[in-house]
Amino acid sequence: MSIKKIIPCLDMKDGKVVKGIKFQGMRDVGDPPELAAKYEKDGADEIAFLDISATLEGRQTMLKTVSETASVITVPLAVGGGIRSMDDMNEVLNAGASKVSINSAAVRDPNIVKECADAFGNKRLIIAIDAKRERGKWVVYTHGGTRSSGIDAIEWAVKMEALGAGEILLTSIDADGEKKGYDIAMTAAVADAVKIPVTASGGCGSVEHIYEVLTRTKASSALAASIFHFNDHSVRDVKEYLRTRGVNVR
């Protein structure tokens, strides 16, 4: 049985960790290095660092904050936001990231996926898919969830895997911040369509939600923010609960 991972997410804006609902109404919840260190101590398998306004603002990821965050943890740090080229990816990796996720750049030019996978290895390349349900299918959105690409999320995941992506970070815009549970149907559909690991994101409000997405879909990891930021549960709580329910975690 594969080991499932628990990944706290640091959504970044203006140098601070923020959290909103459906990618809107962001509120400040803390300092990135401080929160990352806390979550690692609690048992996080990985930390996701997403500069959510970088692409929309037309700027690069905050490398100084990436470096400061990477310096206080030993678990992998996955960084996304504002990465538009191989050079950007190289700079983020050099700043201390273990992996890099791209979304808008891949939609603009899918060739960047193959180029980055060839240059840095597919294990270091994550494709972030932010999707919303529209007219009976899930559609990929870019620029921090503000622009519809019109692309079917399932077909896109398959194409990204073929081009060399090592992982998919799948976020439901509809469920984000609602704390009513992950989009099980979307997660199952995408995870069934690809062989690479899929991380479920968007909507976690309880340990039961994490159990549900890890047992009802083929997702390899569950990403969560609100339940950790607002001290509803710790990573340790989540893992203890999952173990009692027979889920294989570290």
Q: Which of 11, 45, 88, 176 is catalytic?
A: 11
The verdict on whether 11 is a catalytic residue reads yes
Residue 172: phi and psi, rounded to 5, are -85, 115
The verdict on whether 130 is a catalytic residue reads yes
SS (H, E, C) 166-201: CEEEEEECCCCCCCCCCCHHHHHHHHHHCCCCEEEE
Amino acid letter, residue 74: T
What whole-number distance in Å separates Cα of residue 3 and Cα of residue 54? 32
Question: Measured between alpha carbons, how far is residue 62 from residues 35, 44, 209 in Å?
Answer: 17, 23, 31
Q: Which of 88, 130, 176, 183 is catalytic?
A: 130
Amino acid letter, residue 1: M
H or E element that contains 44: none
Q: Are 223 and 169 in contact (CB under 8 A)?
A: yes
What whole-number distance in Å separates Cα of residue 214 and Cα of residue 99? 22
Amino acid letter, residue 68: E
Q: Supply the residues annotated as catalytic.
A: 11, 130
